[in-house]
Amino acid sequence: MSEQFTTAVADGIGEVVLNRPPVNALDSRGWAALAAAIDALNADPAVRVLILRAEGRGFCAGVDIKELQAHPDRILVVNRGNWETFRAIHRGRVPVIAAAHGFVLGGGIGICGAADIVLLSDCATLGVPEVDRGALGAGAHLRRLLPEQKLRAMYFTGESITAAEAARWGGVEAVLPKAGLPAAARALAARIAAKSPAMIALAKESLNGIEAVDLERAYRWEQGFTAQAYLTADSQKTRDAFVAGGGKADFSGGE
C-alpha cells in the first residue's frame, strides 16, 4: 500500500488506483512502490486480470518534476522505478487494462503503452511533453499505440492528441464517457477473468514473444538518453521554466 495509490482484489480482478493530487505525478518512492505492487498482484493466484485507473483531474502526469528539480541525483532512481513499473505491466502474468481519463502524459503514456488493452474517457488527451521538460522517454510505449510518424510529430512538437484521434489510429479499444469508464473496465476484466487463467497467461506470454520490438530494451535505450539529457544546460533550462510557472523555455535566440 502507498499513499500515492491504492490496490484491491475482488472476483479475480486486481485494481490499482492512482491518487496523488493534483496531477498523479508519482515521485521516486511512488514509482518503486507501484512496480512492487503490480508484481505482487501478478504473483497472487487470486488475480486473473488487472485494471489500472486513477482518481482526480487526470490519469497520470508522469514523474514529479519538482522532486527532480530539487534532487537531480534521483533521476536514476526514478528511471528505475519507471522501467520496473512498465515491465511489471507488460511482462506480468495477467492481462492489464489501462482505463485512463483526462491528461495522459509521460509516465501515463508508459502505463497505457505497456498495458494489454487501453480504454480512454472521451475527455482524455495523450501527450509526450518530455522535450519541454528537459527529459526523454515514453516513445517506446507510445509506439505501441500510434504509427511511427505520428509519434515523432507529437514528440518533436510536444502537442497532445484527443482520445478520439488516438482511437482513430487503432491503438485504443474504446472511448467512453468518463463516468462509465470504471464500470466498462470491470466488465471487460470480468470477461477475461472468467476464462482459464493458465490459457490467458500462456496467451499473454506468446503475444509478447511475437511483438516486433523488445519493449523493455527499447525503453532502456531511451532512458540512457534521458540521463544524458539531464547533464545538459538545456535540460536544466527547460526544468527551471516548468517549475517556475509551467511555461516553456525560449531557445529561439540561442543562449
> What pLDDT digit, counting tens, does each position of 122-166 carry?
999 999 988 888 778 889 999 999 999 999 999 999 999 999 999
> What is the arithmetic mean of pLDDT over 25-35?
97
Statement: the pTM of the whole predicted model exceeds 0.75 = yes
pLDDT at 65 over 90: no
Peptide bond into 72 cis (omega under 30): no
CATH number at residue 169: 3.90.226.10
Closest alpha carbon to 171 in 251, 129, 112: 112
pLDDT, tens digit (0-9, with 9 covering 90-100), for 169-219 = 999 999 999 999 999 999 999 999 999 999 999 999 999 999 988 999 998
Phi then psi for 84, rounded to 5 degrees? Answer: -65, -40
In a domain, 150, yes or no: yes
In a domain, 162, yes or no: yes
In a domain, 230, yes or no: no
In a domain, 254, yes or no: no
* Structural domain for 166, as ranges: 5-178+196-209
Please tell me the predicted confidence (pLDDT) of residue 254: 53
CB atoms within 10 A of CB 206: 9
Instruction: Indicate the number of domains in the chain.
Output: 1
In a domain, 225, yes or no: no
> Whole-angstrom Cα distance, residue 31 to residue 152?
26
Phi then psi for 27, rounded to 5 degrees? Answer: -90, -175
In a domain, 215, yes or no: no
Please tell me the predicted confidence (pLDDT) of residue 126: 97
In a domain, 167, yes or no: yes
**CA dihedral sign of residues 207, 208, 214, 220:** positive
> What is the arithmetic mean of pLDDT over 21-30?
95
